[in-house]
Amino acid sequence: MLAETRTCAHEGVDTYVVCVEARVTKGLPQLVIVGLPDAAVREGRERVRAAIRSTVEGFPLGRVVVNLSPASRRKGGASFDLAIAMALLGAAGLCNRSMLANVVFAGELGLDGTLRSAAGALPTAIATRRAGVPRLVVATADAAEAAVCEGVDVFGVSTLGAALALVQSGFTDAPARVDTRALLDREQASHPELADVRGQPAARRALEIAAAGGHHALLVGPPGGGKTMLARRLSSILPPLTIEEAIETTSIYSIAGLNRGGGLMSMRPFRAPHHTTSGGGMTGGGSFPRPGEVSLAHNGVLFLDELPEFSPAVLNQLREPLEDGQLTVSRTAARLTFPACFMLVAAMNPCPCGMHGTTSSACDCGDLIVQRYRARVSGPLLDRIDLHVHVPRVGFHELTCNDPLEDSARARARVMDARSLLGDLRRRGTAGAAVAFLSSPAQQLLARATERLSLSARGVGRTAGVARTIAALRGASMAERADVAEALQYRPLRGLDATP
């Protein structure tokens, strides 16, 4: 007897529907799974067998073959358990087979038949809707996340027995419902407050420009100046996620297994990987490629502290996603594209001891050591960073001053107004497109600076884009000479030497 149902598989950040076919024939009792399953899927045979025996009397006798179609694409993970179990119950005549064909099942089974959360609930719901399948059954913990997708009925169950009863009843229970707008508007854990930062007016100004225009920033200064503190407060002045961005971000985290039972993400990601992170961890990889840090920071911030301590090979892998907003990973079996539109904020000391260029302490590093330290960050990578900011140490008076400082809410309001004014202008646009928003005197200044500072075409475009953002922050649609002059101050003039 043949029974058929459906589940979903993930390939990178893409999800597609898999047809699960089960047939029981005469022969020695055996359960065989074909269709390029990985070890987790193959080991599911014992989980499925035990779960069925815990739910109904007996297990289908004879040779049982389960086929996962399309058979030419590899399948991985434990989320196939529920679909395989339901197909087996249908093949054994213990389930309404006509109902199974129009349902997607996704979830991991325990030996006692309990249904556990599986990665990728929201992408599974989106793929289900795209395939035209009307119903999706997931674990109860994943129902809120999957129900964010409109156009498909999502049912959350806690056991295999509950899933079987749901099918037998013809899905008479009410599907899960969530208010997406309410999820976005719900109160979130508070961000670190910008008002906590004492001093550093130039760095605070640079962060506001970066947030308004989506520009990358590099903070350079001695230890203890507040570089990390500033970077961690960038998220507090960014606009909230839109519904589309929230669904996109949640899908990435769901596939990575980092949002199980978390519902819809409504806060922009902030990723701060350690400097020992490998290339695969940064950009994504593995036999079944999973999102790396650059994709987990999509629609948010990627913070790289102690930038020169990262491997130069890892840093150079960031050049393409910084330019294109996506990353293509080629493997023997597949070529996958991961989203990677993030804001890069990096921090570093001016030298290994951190005291180069300061007046308070003598630097113990020789010129050759300083040069080697800075050379770990390549010029092409630096050219893609729009704002190079010097962060000096803060004096005692500034640290102990009780004068009220501007909070994140006021800065975020200006950022949102500026982004509204900028409209569709992107910092990744061509130099000509950005220069078109400069007044004639501003263009003349930029032309002279291009000659004197030997700016690349990318440098001209990014300088013009920063000037446009500065103008938008003051409510103007056209950048003037003063805006270009301020933007030029953020370009690297002597490599990484941002110190006075």
Q: What is the pLDDT of residues 54-99, one digit of tens each?
A: 999 877 778 999 999 999 898 988 899 999 999 999 998 888 899 9
Rounded to 10 degrees, the C-alpha dihedral 253/15/299/195 comes to -20
Give the pair of three-digit tokens for residue 55: 């739910």
Q: For a pLDDT cut of 70, what percent of the chain falls above it? A: 94
Burial of 186 (0-12, 13-18, 19+ CB in 10 A): exposed
How many Å apart are CA 189 and CA 430, to the nearest integer?
Answer: 38
Query: What type of residue is 94?
Result: L
Per-residue confidence band for 285, with pLDDT thresholds at 50, 70 and 90: confident
CATH of domain 423-500: 1.10.8.60
Cβ atoms of residues 484 and 442 within 8 Å: yes
DSSP string for residues in 229-275: HHHHTSGGGSPPPPHHHHHHHHHHHHHTTS-TT--S--S--EE---T
Cβ atoms of residues 50 and 88 within 8 Å: no
Give me the pLDDT at residue 497, please. Answer: 46
Give me the pLDDT at residue 385, please. Answer: 93
Per-residue confidence band for 26, with pLDDT thresholds at 50, 70 and 90: confident
How many Å apart are CA 127 and CA 375, to the nearest integer?
Answer: 46
Query: What type of residue is 310?
Result: F
Per-residue confidence band for 183, with pLDDT thresholds at 50, 70 and 90: confident
The full 3-state SS of 426-476, as one line of letters, equals CCCCCHHHHHCCECHHHHHHHHHHHHHHCCCHHHHHHHHHHHHHHHHHCCC
Give me the pLDDT at residue 402, please. Answer: 76
Give me the pLDDT at residue 189, please. Answer: 54
Distances (CA, A) of 293 to 27, 216, 498: 49, 16, 27
Residue 328 has pLDDT above 70, yes or no: yes
Residue 433 has pLDDT above 80, yes or no: no
Cβ atoms of residues 123 and 106 within 8 Å: no
Same fold, 2-178 and 423-500: no
User: Is the CA virtual torsion 410, 414, 417, 419 positive or negative?
Assistant: negative
Give me the pLDDT at residue 428, please. Answer: 45
Cβ atoms of residues 117 and 261 within 8 Å: yes
Fold of 2-178: Ribosomal Protein S5; domain 2 (3.30.230)
Mean pLDDT of 416-440: 74
With H, G, I as helix, E, B as strand and everything else as coil, classify residue 494.
coil
How many Å apart are CA 281 and CA 317, to the nearest integer?
Answer: 11
Give the pair of three-digit tokens for residue 243: 């519904």
CATH class of 194-200+213-402: alpha beta
CA angle 448, 453, 458 (to 5 degrees): 95
> 70 preceded by cis ω (within 30°)?
yes
Residue 431 has pLDDT above 80, yes or no: no
How many Å apart are CA 89 and CA 93, to the nearest integer?
Answer: 6
Closest CA to 47 of 17, 25, 79: 79
Give the pair of three-digit tokens for residue 471: 């103008």
Residue 249: how many CA atoms within 13 Å on its side-chain side?
Answer: 25
User: Is the CA virtual torsion 274, 275, 280, 282 positive or negative?
Assistant: positive
Per-residue confidence band for 499, with pLDDT thresholds at 50, 70 and 90: very low
State the DSSP code for 315: H
Q: In terms of DSSP H, where are the helices of 5-120?
A: 39-55, 81-91, 97-100
State how far Cα 468 lies from the chain centre: 27
Number of H helices, E strands in the chain: 22, 18
Mean pLDDT of 184-213: 83
Domain boundaries, the chain: 2-178, 194-200+213-402, 423-500
Give me the pLDDT at residue 363, please. Answer: 82
Rounded to 10 degrees, the C-alpha dihedral 179/180/182/183 comes to 120
Whole-model pTM: value is 0.89
Over the stretch 48-63, which tens digit does the pLDDT of each residue have?
Answer: 999 999 999 877 778 9
Cβ atoms of residues 163 and 137 within 8 Å: yes
Closest CA to 351 of 376, 368, 374: 374
Rounded to 10 degrees, the C-alpha dihedral 276/278/283/288 comes to -140
With H, G, I as helix, E, B as strand and everything else as coil, classify residue 7.
strand
Closest CA to 99 of 110, 112, 109, 90: 90
Per-residue confidence band for 270, with pLDDT thresholds at 50, 70 and 90: very high
Closest CA to 455 of 467, 447, 445: 447
